[in-house]
Amino acid sequence: MPHPKTAEDMIKCAGSLESELLPRLLHVTEAAAIAASYQIGRGDKNYADQVSVEAMRRMLNCLDMKGIIKIGEGERDEAPMLYIGEKVGTWEKGVEVDIAVDPLEGTNLAAEGLPGSIAVMAMAERGGLFHGPDIYMDKIVVGPEVVKYEREHPDEKIDLDAPVRDNLEIVAKALNRSIDELVVVILERDRHEQKIKEIREAGARVNLVTDGDLMPGVSTAIRGSGVHMVLGAGGSGEAVLTAAAIKCLGGKILARLVLPTVANGKSAEKIAEEKAEKMERLESMGITEDNINDVLDTNRLVPGEDVIFSATGVTPGPILRGVSLFGEGDARVHSINIGISGVVKFTDTIYIHDKERNPLRF
């Protein structure tokens, strides 16, 4: 009986981004995470973000690629580095890529020394990532078991507009669990009070996070993570980054753009003011009042066929350990790298500057 060559087949089917850039992507997120780690617990989230941005940008510009930031730190006038539309890479040779970055996702968490902050980025071929504004996205994220269940039961599908209980019932069936065994992660915000109430009334458990629902979203596609669904309105950039990882892992995300004033239940006057301020920018991206409420699925958020994702822990989380600093500039970091082929790498890396003073230890 011939020995199956599963790994070889997966490696051969990897696209050019996964083959050429995914190994280097690890260095980019690790550099950003280590830079941010020196600011953990110092209370200055802006400076922590700044040093991680600068480190990530320096590393990106070492890569032989023609990269354009599609999801970044904001508009050019608001962010000196890694702004939307910025060109990164050598631009001398290499593949053309669109990039989504969050050099320090969970700036408050890092500044206060709390769990869950990461350095994260994703890439796809040109046109392979949703290019949208820096507003909110209301979303629901589930794992690959739910995708399989939907395929086998076409009349039962996760729906962003359905009652929370209906979606929980589908997830419970897909995972062969009862609803009271499910854990739903949601940002602890006033705008989510009703959803939190509905989750609990349905019998599921709520895991409230103060910041950073990106890795919980990825965790829905990792069996044993203890996260079965992510709900709620958060940053649109984080939703696209989540979608990149979820697409590689076979899960599903549904999302809808929403203005912060709308999500937070502000007055009609405040909503009108925000629309007047932002609609010109939205329309330049093809987003109008007619389509802003469209539901965007995984493939609309990440239409690319060659997608890669990398994240490195800054402070400890349920999936990634935080950075450990020791010696003079030495560090140990924990990362996840994912390619569209299905190859997932958890990497434990130690950076040693002085090998005599700090020999490698188990």
The string of pLDDT tens digits covering residues 39-48 is: 999 999 999 9
Sorted by sequence, the CB contacts under 8 Å of residue 201 that are 6+ apart come out as: 165
DSSP assignments along 122-159, one per residue: EEEETT-S----SSEEEEEEE-HHHHHHHHH-TT----
Torsion-angle region of 41 (φ positive above 0: left; ψ -120 to 50: alpha; else: beta): left
Is-contact 240 302, C-beta < 8 A?
A: yes
Q: What percent of the chain has pLDDT over 70?
A: 96
The residue count for the chain = 362
The string of pLDDT tens digits covering residues 154-196 is: 999 999 999 999 999 999 999 999 999 999 999 999 999 999 9
SS3 292: coil
Q: Per the structure block, which two tokens stand in for 171?
A: 């997830």
How far apart CA 306 and CA 341 sit, in angstroms, is: 8
pLDDT at 75: 64
In this structure, the dihedral spanned by the alpha carbons of residues 127, 213, 322 and 52, taken in order and rounded to 10 degrees, is 50
- The residue type found at 326 is F
pLDDT at 244: 97
pLDDT at 79: 57
The string of pLDDT tens digits covering residues 290-299 is: 888 899 999 9
pLDDT at 5: 61
SS3 71: strand
SS3 224: coil
Yes or no: domain 136-301 corresponds to CATH 3.40.190.90: yes
How many helices (H) and strands (E) in the chain? 13, 13
The string of pLDDT tens digits covering residues 241-250 is: 999 999 999 9
- Per DSSP, helices labelled H in the chain are 6-12, 16-20, 22-37, 45-60, 107-112, 144-152, 164-175, 193-202, 214-219, 236-249, 260-263, 268-284, 298-301
Report the mean per-residue pLDDT for the chain. 91
How far apart CA 140 and CA 159 sit, in angstroms, is: 8
pTM for the model: 0.93
The string of pLDDT tens digits covering residues 254-264 is: 999 999 999 99
Q: Which CATH number fits domain 6-128+305-351: 3.40.50.800, 3.40.50.1970, 3.40.50.11900, 3.30.540.10?
A: 3.30.540.10
pLDDT band (50, 70, 90) for residue 76: low
pLDDT at 78: 59
CA–chain centroid gap for 187, Å, is: 14
CA 133, 136, 140, 141 torsion-angle sign: positive
How far apart CA 217 and CA 350 sit, in angstroms, is: 27
The string of pLDDT tens digits covering residues 222-242 is: 999 999 999 999 999 999 999
State the span(s) of the chain assigned CATH 3.40.190.90.
136-301
Phi/psi at 345 (nearest 5 deg)? Answer: -120, 125
CA–chain centroid gap for 319, Å, is: 13
Among the listed residues 42, 39, 64, the one whose alpha carbon sits nearest the alpha carbon of residue 54? 39
Rg (CA), the chain: 20
Phi/psi at 13 (nearest 5 deg)? Answer: -90, 0
Phi/psi at 278 (nearest 5 deg)? Answer: -110, -15
Q: What percent of the chain has pLDDT over 90?
A: 73
State the span(s) of the chain assigned CATH 3.30.540.10.
6-128+305-351
Average pLDDT over residues 129-149: 93
